[in-house]
């Protein structure tokens, strides 16, 4: 599914330089291929705003070649933004009101930073609820990522996330536990998924909400689940969209917080992510950093380039395959008038026909 650069958003140029398929609007108009319009509600903080765009654009654009993808990033006005991020949003992002009028085939909702003990107290809570309700009534399927999954479980099902004893941070093995569901058709039955979170919704909470768990880890929780009807809402707790270096950049940020007195303890390594040589390099960096702090000397540079070449990605292909399945079924089910969520004859209570066969 090639992406269409229908706006001057810099992410399109970045992906083109990386070798991804990105069509100009002129080339897209010359092809007899159906358009699909996918919204991306980007709630991530300023520092991760553009990286999150690229991650989800890549994941969707690489899935397959049966349609032309028009991705429409938008955000919520209640989220605090700096001057640079606000300028980026004002120039390149769509307005939710515009998307409501024109319609979407599918919607992706990202995570967000939180500051309150209860998600209902966050500034994004009410406007996010408006988007979620509109999507339930007007969009074929919505994919919720991490924090968005926790928010929807609370607002629609009364299931509040719970604090973990320690941050679940790293790359973890998962298993497909409901293999007959079309969303996990033809994917590896065991695969890795990155996680980065302090909270979780448990298996029992998903089941109590009437949802279907498709992929989980015995020790590290649910990754993938779907709504009661099997398709209208897709829930990720992990981050299959992460780049190979995403966890390294998070670790680098945490080290920086420690070195500037904004974190009390030195951060642990993300689990199952770094090889022994990479860990040795980072241990050496810690020793040099601690010595510089004690002596009041300039801090050593973080050895990012030395680590990057040693990292392996063990999750992207399976994440891409699941998105491919998701997009394929959205394509099959969505009315050509995208202001109507389903084609005629599709049962909204069981759109894939997996529970009424």
CATH for 3-243+314-333? Answer: 3.40.50.880
Indicate the domain borders of the chain: 3-243+314-333, 246-308
The stretches of 32-110 forming alpha helices (DSSP H) are 46-61, 83-92, 96-102
**Chain position carrying tokens 């070195």:** 259
Per-residue pLDDT of the chain (357 residues; tens, 9 = 90+): 567 888 889 988 888 887 777 778 776 676 667 788 999 999 999 999 999 999 999 998 887 666 788 999 999 999 999 999 999 999 999 999 999 999 999 999 999 999 998 999 999 999 999 999 999 999 999 999 999 999 999 999 999 999 999 999 999 999 999 998 999 988 999 999 999 999 999 999 999 999 999 999 989 999 999 999 999 999 999 999 999 999 999 999 999 999 999 999 999 999 999 999 999 999 999 999 999 999 999 999 999 999 999 999 999 999 999 999 999 888 888 877 777 788 777 888 888 888 765
pLDDT tens, position by position, 245-280: 999 999 999 999 999 999 999 999 999 999 999 999
By the 8 A CB rule, do 222 and 216 touch? yes
How many CB atoms neighbour CB 293 within 10 A?
14
Q: How far apart are CA 21 and CA 26, in angstroms?
A: 14
Q: Determine the distance from the C-alpha atom of residue 133 to the mean position of all C-alpha atoms in its chain, rounded to a whole number.
A: 20
Backbone dihedral angles phi then psi of residue 38, each to the nearest 5 degrees: -120, 125
Exposed, middle or buried, 134 (CB in 10 Å: 0-12/13-18/19+)? Answer: middle
Catalytic residue among 6, 72, 181, 239: 239
Q: 103 in the Ramachandran plot: left (φ > 0), alpha (ψ -120 to 50) or beta?
A: left
Token readout for 285 is 């960096």
- From the DSSP assignment, how many helices (H) and strands (E) are in the chain? 12, 11
Of 146, 195, 200, 212, the catalytic one is: 146
List 122, 216, 241, 320, catalytic entry? 241
Inter-residue contact 106 to 143 (CB < 8 Å)? yes
Contacts of 136 (CB under 8 A, 6+ apart): 142, 232, 233
Q: What is the pTM of this model?
A: 0.90
353: left (phi over 0), alpha (psi -120 to 50) or beta: left
Strand, helix or coil at 164? Answer: strand
- 144 classed as catalytic: no
Q: What is the DSSP string of 213-259?
A: EEEEETTTEEEEEE-TTSSSEEEESS-TT--TTHHHHHHHHHHHHHH
Distances (CA, A) of 62 to 2, 20, 42, 89, 185: 7, 8, 19, 24, 17
């Amino acid at each position: 599914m090639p992406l269409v650069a229908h706006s001057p958003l810099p992410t399109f140029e970045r992906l083109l330089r990386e070798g991804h398929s990105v069509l100009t609007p002129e080339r897209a108009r010359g092809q007899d291929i159906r358009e699909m319009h996918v919204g991306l509600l980007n709630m991530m903080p300023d520092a991760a705003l553009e990286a999150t765009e690229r991650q989800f654009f890549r994941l969707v654009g690489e899935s397959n070649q049966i349609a032309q993808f028009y991705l429409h990033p938008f955000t919520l006005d209640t989220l605090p933004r700096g001057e640079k991020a606000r300028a980026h949003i004002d120039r390149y992002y769509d307005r939710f009101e515009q998307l409501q009028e024109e319609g979407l085939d599918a919607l992706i909702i990202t995570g967000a930073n939180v500051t309150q003990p209860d998600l209902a107290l966050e500034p994004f809570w009410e406007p996010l609820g408006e988007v979620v309700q509109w999507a339930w009534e007007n969009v074929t399927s919505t994919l919720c990522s991490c924090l968005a999954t926790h928010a929807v479980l609370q607002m629609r099902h009364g299931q509040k996330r719970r604090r973990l004893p320690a941050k679940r941070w790293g790359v973890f093995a998962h298993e497909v536990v409901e293999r007959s569901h079309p969303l996990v058709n033809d994917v590896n039955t065991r695969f890795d998924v990155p996680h980065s979170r302090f909270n979780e919704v448990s298996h029992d909470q998903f089941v109590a909400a009437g949802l279907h768990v498709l992929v989980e880890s015995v020790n590290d929780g649910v990754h993938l689940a779907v709504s009661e009807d099997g398709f209208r809402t897709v829930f990720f707790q992990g981050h299959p969209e992460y780049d190979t270096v995403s966890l390294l950049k998070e670790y680098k940020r945490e080290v920086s917080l420690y070195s500037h007195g904004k974190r009390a303890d030195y951060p642990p390594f993300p689990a199952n992510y770094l090889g022994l040589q990479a860990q040795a390099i980072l241990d050496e960096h810690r020793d040099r950093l601690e010595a510089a702090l004690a002596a009041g000397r300039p801090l050593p540079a973080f050895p990012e380039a030395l680590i990057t070449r040693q990292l392996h990605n063990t999750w992207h292909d399976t994440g891409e395959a699941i998105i491919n399945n998701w997009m394929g079924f959205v394509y099959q089910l969505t009315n050509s008038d995208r202001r109507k969520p389903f084609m005629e004859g599709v049962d909204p209570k069981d759109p894939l026909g997996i529970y009424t066969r």
